[in-house]
């Protein structure tokens, strides 16, 4: 009895090897967003993300304008997307063995960006920062914005325990409003309402000065538009949010972008559009134009 | 890259943008022979502009002892080494500028200093080039043991490397006065200018996360006043004014006179190719090869001219005007034994005798019954 079972199993095995192997799953060549009934999670490790197929998007050199960035050891960024009531949420995962969330002289932080065309439809501009009459919308997440110090003075004292400072002119002012105004005089970027300064470590600009307010703690995405190289301009009101977590030697970052209000704008539900991505590795001194980027990839949003 | 004419190199060179000179160009002359490294200039600047958080390490004006002083460490030596041979022939530079030596994929040849490189702004202070044999003094005419003080600010260059290296176009050169500024609303803190400026005169502020630099005290300049580091200079080594191109030089413009007419003031490391607009009277006691490297081929002749000032009323008179007015001198003249300075609108700013009246007093004061010293 045993022998006959063994024979049957053997025959079955032989017949199996003779069959053609099951075809590999077709390569994923577009980011197809899955719809979720409630809010899509901003936690990139949430199981809800299992519903969204991941496209491995090749990272390319930034080889168009100086300063250029040659390809590094990071071949791809894995992209998934979920759509909830009013947002498309991207989940971006890439390998980066060094966690860089500090910015300083000669120190740069890790970052990632999603780029979408402003106009709906298939006539996309250059994937490298758009074109003068075909703008792109870019949402940037930076580790340094997410992990910005709550107290600049304390952060400075811990980084430079032996620092000796004679005095800050504003420190003597007793009235907090006077002190804030004086301090702003020695922080021209803050006085000018610089959007990067607002995202960094300081409280928002004092009354009477422009510039966007800082995002809520732990959420660190800036929205901007670009019309070609060197034209990135932050929007006055950030609409997107996002957060990153470390997952082994990888970053997993989610960026939630509001769907467009008008049908002629991207992204809208039920329409196909395109998205492109960029990754910066702080340890490799990536910053600004020194980045790895992708081509446009199709982005399909469910109705 | 565009082709531009750099008169300090005597030739056309490559630059990131086409040549576009301002209506007039901020410029200065520093006489290195008179600097005493008191650092009053550094403090005048520091208290005026860089007393904020994130600016602690910044010295938009610094004074370093050459040859071993640097701020940041090795700023010039590192670039000189990377640049390769820097030969001159008949006043024309035959080597490569930092723009012409740009590695593939870069806008120029630069380097990024580390944080610690700024930690010792007085490194090498008062160290001479060689040991002085068994003695506590330097013999005049010494060959090996020498040092001098180099006071440095942003050169508000005609072809700024900081401006060329910013991929966002956040740095601009003002049409009205040639002052180079970083737009504090537009900078995103990429630190490309810190890497690109060969003189290391842009600084990253880690608190605002933008780069900052010397602004030539433009609110003062706009009112006809010289910057803080000029009017506070104890040694009276500095004069701020406007420099023309050589063919447009005016004899009665103090900067033109020193730079173009008498060629007694020279640019700092002209071979970098930026056409810097702070000009230096070279130190008279420093070996020629070092001066050639630091100030170009005119150094020897500049020193000879400088030494002749004792018998040259115009030159001596003009140097006498240094540090004698807080206003920018647009025009000067030396008449009889007096140097006279005028401002932009023709108003007389100051009148200084070439020789101060000398009174020699008796060594004993009868009325107070005390000894007296005569101080020259
Ligand atoms: S000295 Fe440096 S910072 Fe100043 S203008 Fe020249 S390149 Fe720019
Ligand atoms: S204040 Fe004048 S003399 Fe004193 S260190 Fe500065 S440049 Fe030299």
pLDDT for A113-163, tens place per residue? 999 999 988 889 999 999 999 999 999 999 999 888 778 888 888 989 998
| Mean pLDDT calculated for residue range A210-227 | 74
Comparison of pLDDT for A233 and A166, the residue scoring more: A233
Note the pLDDT of residue B376.
59
Give the angle subtended at the CA of B73 by the CAs of B215 and B108, to the nearest 5°.
65
Residue B119's closest chain A neighbor by CA?
Answer: A163
Longest Cα separation, chain A: 97
CB contact under 8 A, A153 and B115: no
Report whether residue B98 contacts ligand 1, using a CB cutoff of 6 Å: no
Residue A226's closest chain B neighbor by CA?
Answer: B168
Chain A residues at the B interface, defined by Cβ less than 8 Å, are: 63, 65-70, 103-108, 144, 152-153, 156, 163, 165, 168-169, 183, 185-194, 196-197, 200-202, 229-230, 232, 285, 287-289
A129, A279, B50, B119, B150 from A227: Cα distances, Å: 6, 19, 35, 40, 44
HSE-CB at B54 with a 13 A cutoff on CA atoms is 28
pLDDT classification of A1: cutoffs 50, 70, 90: very low
Question: What are the helix (H) ranges across A142-222?
Answer: 143-146, 152-159, 176-185, 188-191, 195-199
- Number of CB atoms found within 10 A of residue B131's CB: 8
Predicted confidence (pLDDT) at residue A45 exceeds the cutoff of 50:
yes
Longest Cα separation, chain B: 79
- Are B263 and B298 within 8 A, CB to CB? yes
Using CA atoms, how far apart are residues B236 and B229, in angstroms rounded to an integer?
A: 10
Residue A150's closest chain B neighbor by CA?
Answer: B207
Smallest-distance ligand from the CA of B46:
2
CB contact under 8 A, A288 and B168: yes
CB contact under 8 A, B167 and A200: no
Instruction: Say yes or no: B103 contacts chain A, CB-CB below 8 A.
Output: no
Predicted confidence (pLDDT) at residue A233 exceeds the cutoff of 90:
yes
Note the pLDDT of residue A217.
61
Smallest-distance ligand from the CA of B41:
2
Using CA atoms, how far apart are residues B198 and B110, in angstroms rounded to an integer?
A: 7
Sheet of B331-335, strands arranged across: B331-335, B338-342, B348-353
β-strand pairing of B11-15 with B2-6? antiparallel
Tokens of B38: 């008191």
| Residue the block writes with tokens 């390490």 | B57
Task: Write the residue in B104, B115, B210 that is nearest to A105 by C-beta.
Answer: B115
Instruction: Say yes or no: B118 contacts chain A, CB-CB below 8 A.
Output: yes
> Each residue of A77-103: pLDDT tens digit?
999 999 998 999 999 999 999 999 989
pTM of the model: 0.92
- 3-state DSSP helix/strand/coil percent for chain A, to nearest 5? 20, 30, 50
Nearest-neighbour CA in chain B from A229: distance (Å): 8
Tokens of A46: 């949430």
Task: Write the residue in B47, B102, B167 that is nearest to A288 by C-beta.
Answer: B167
Note the pLDDT of residue A238.
77
Which residue among B6, B16, B180, B218 is best mutated to probe the pocket of ligand 1, counting the most ligand atoms within 8 A of its Cβ? B180
Residue B111's closest chain A neighbor by CA?
Answer: A106
Predicted confidence (pLDDT) at residue A13 exceeds the cutoff of 80:
no
HSE-CB at B66 with a 13 A cutoff on CA atoms is 23
Report whether residue B29 contacts ligand 1, using a CB cutoff of 6 Å: no
A101, A109, A168, B360 from A104: Cα distances, Å: 10, 9, 20, 59
Distance of CA A225 to the CA centre of its chain: 15
β-strand pairing of A297-300 with A31-32? parallel
Q: Is the peptide bond before B4 cis (omega within 30 degrees of 0)?
A: no
A110, A144, A247, B126 from A99: Cα distances, Å: 7, 10, 11, 43
Partners of residue A66 in chain B, C-beta under 8 Å: 102, 105-107, 167
Give the three-class secondary structure for B317. Answer: helix
Give the nearest ligand 1 atom to B180 CA.
5
pLDDT classification of A11: cutoffs 50, 70, 90: very low
Distance of CA A45 to the CA centre of its chain: 16
Task: Write the residue in B104, B113, B115 that is nearest to A104 by C-beta.
Answer: B115
Partners of residue A289 in chain B, C-beta under 8 Å: 167, 190
Average pLDDT, chain A: 87
Question: What are the helix (H) ranges across chain B?
Answer: 40-49, 75-83, 161-165, 192-196, 218-221, 228-231, 254-256, 288-295, 299-307, 313-320
Q: Nearest-CA neighbor of B19 among B218, B158, B148?
A: B158
User: Domain ranges in chain B?
Assistant: 16-135+145-293
What b/e string do you get for B303-326 counting C-beta neighbours within 10 Å, with b at 16 or more? bebbeebeebbbbbbbbbbbbebb
Using CA atoms, how far apart are residues B265 and B315, in angstroms rounded to an integer?
A: 12
| Mean pLDDT calculated for residue range A236-245 | 88
What CATH number belongs to B16-135+145-293? 3.30.70.20
The H or E element that residue A298 is part of is strand A297-300
**For ligand 1, atom 4, which residue shows the shortest CA distance?**
B154
Give the angle subtended at the CA of B92 by the CAs of B86 and B96, to the nearest 5°.
35
pLDDT classification of A48: cutoffs 50, 70, 90: very high
CB contact under 8 A, B210 and A196: yes
- Are B69 and B123 within 8 A, CB to CB? yes
Tokens of B266: 């020279």
Residue A102's closest chain B neighbor by CA?
Answer: B206
Judging by beta carbons within 10 Å of its beta carbon (0-12, 13-18, 19+), is residue A8 exposed, middle or buried?
exposed
- Are B304 and B313 within 8 A, CB to CB? no
Average pLDDT, chain B: 95
Partners of residue A230 in chain B, C-beta under 8 Å: 167-169
Partners of residue A65 in chain B, C-beta under 8 Å: 167
CB contact under 8 A, B212 and A188: yes
Note the pLDDT of residue B128.
83
Distance of CA A214 to the CA centre of its chain: 17
Question: Where do the domains of chain A lie, and which CATH numbers do they carry?
Answer: 22-148+218-303 (2.60.40.1190), 149-217 (no CATH)
The H or E element that residue A223 is part of is strand A221-226
CB contact under 8 A, A103 and B190: no
Residues with CB under 6 A from ligand 2: B 35-41, 63, 149, 151, 233-235, 237
Distance B111 CA to ligand 1 centre (A): 14
Note the pLDDT of residue A166.
86
**For ligand 2, atom 1, which residue shows the shortest CA distance?**
B233
* Averages of pLDDT over each 10 residues, chain B, 376 residues: 97 97 98 98 97 95 96 97 97 98 98 95 87 61 79 98 97 98 97 98 96 98 98 98 98 98 98 98 95 97 97 97 98 96 97 89 90 76
């Amino acid at each position: 009895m045993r022998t006959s079972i063994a024979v049957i199993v053997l025959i079955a095995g032989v017949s199996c090897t003779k069959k053609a192997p099951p075809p590999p799953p077709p390569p994923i060549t577009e980011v197809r967003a899955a719809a979720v009934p409630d809010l899509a999670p901003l936690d990139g490790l949430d199981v809800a993300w299992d519903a969204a197929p991941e496209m491995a998007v090749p990272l390319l050199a930034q080889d168009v304008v100086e300063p250029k960035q040659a390809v590094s050891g990071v071949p791809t960024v894995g992209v998934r997307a979920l759509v909830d009531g009013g947002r498309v949420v991207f989940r971006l995962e890439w390998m980066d063995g060094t966690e860089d969330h500090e910015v300083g002289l000669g120190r740069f932080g890790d970052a990632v960006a999603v780029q979408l065309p402003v106009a709906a439809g298939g006539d996309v501009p250059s994937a490298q920062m758009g074109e003068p009459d075909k703008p792109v919308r870019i949402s940037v997440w930076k580790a340094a914005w997410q992990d910005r110090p709550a107290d600049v003075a304390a952060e400075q004292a811990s980084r430079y325990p032996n620092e000796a400072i004679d005095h800050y002119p504003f420190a003597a002012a007793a009235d907090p409003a006077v002190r804030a105004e004086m301090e702003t005089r020695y922080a021209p970027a803050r006085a000018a309402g610089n959007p990067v300064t607002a995202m960094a470590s300081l409280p928002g600009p004092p009354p009477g000065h422009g510039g966007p307010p800082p995002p809520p703690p732990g959420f660190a995405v800036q929205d901007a538009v670009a019309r070609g190289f060197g034209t990135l301009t932050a929007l006055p009101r950030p609409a997107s949010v996002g957060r990153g977590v470390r997952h082994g030697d990888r970053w997993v970052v989610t960026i939630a972008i509001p769907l467009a209000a008008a049908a002629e704008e991207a992204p809208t539900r039920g329409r196909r559009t395109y998205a492109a991505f960029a990754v910066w590795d702080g340890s490799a001194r990536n910053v600004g134009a020194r980045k790895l980027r992708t081509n446009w990839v199709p982005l399909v949003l469910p109705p | 890259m565009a082709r531009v004419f750099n008169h300090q190199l005597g030739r056309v060179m490559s630059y990131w943008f086409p040549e576009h000179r301002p209506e007039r160009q901020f410029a200065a002359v520093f006489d290195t022979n008179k600097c005493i490294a008191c650092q009053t200039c550094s403090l005048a600047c520091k208290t005026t502009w860089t007393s904020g958080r994130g600016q602690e390490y910044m010295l938009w004006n610094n004074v370093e002892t050459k040859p071993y002083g640097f701020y940041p460490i090795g700023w010039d030596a590192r670039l000189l080494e990377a640049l390769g041979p820097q030969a001159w022939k008949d006043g024309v530079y035959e080597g490569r500028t930092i723009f012409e030596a740009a590695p593939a994929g870069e806008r120029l040849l630069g380097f990024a200093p580390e944080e610690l490189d700024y930690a010792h702004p007085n490194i090498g202070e008062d160290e001479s080039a060689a040991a002085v044999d068994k003695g506590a003094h330097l013999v005049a005419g010494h060959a090996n043991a020498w040092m001098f003080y180099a006071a440095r600010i942003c050169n508000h260059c005609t072809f700024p490397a900081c401006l060329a290296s910013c991929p966002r176009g956040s740095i601009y050169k003002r049409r009205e006065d040639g002052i180079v500024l970083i737009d504090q609303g537009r900078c995103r803190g990429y630190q490309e200018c810190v890497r690109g400026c060969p003189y290391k005169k842009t600084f990253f502020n880690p608190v605002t996360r933008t780069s900052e630099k010397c602004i030539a005290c433009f609110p003062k300049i706009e009112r006809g006043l010289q910057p803080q580091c000029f009017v506070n200079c104890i040694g009276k080594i500095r004069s701020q004014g406007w420099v023309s191109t050589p063919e447009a030089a005016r004899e009665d413009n103090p900067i033109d006179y020193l730079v173009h007419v008498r060629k007694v003031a020279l640019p700092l490391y002209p071979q970098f190719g930026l056409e810097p607009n702070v000009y230096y009277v070279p130190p008279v006691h420093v070996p020629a090869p070092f001066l050639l490297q630091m100030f170009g081929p005119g150094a020897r002749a500049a020193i000879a001219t400088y030494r002749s000032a004792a018998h040259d009323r115009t030159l001596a008179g003009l140097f006498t005007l240094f540090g004698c007015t807080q206003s920018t001198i647009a025009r000067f003249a030396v008449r009889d034994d007096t140097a006279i300075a005028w401002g932009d609108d023709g108003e007389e700013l100051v009148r200084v005798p070439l020789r101060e009246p000398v009174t020699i007093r008796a060594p004993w004061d009868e009325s107070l019954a005390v000894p007296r010293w005569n101080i020259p």
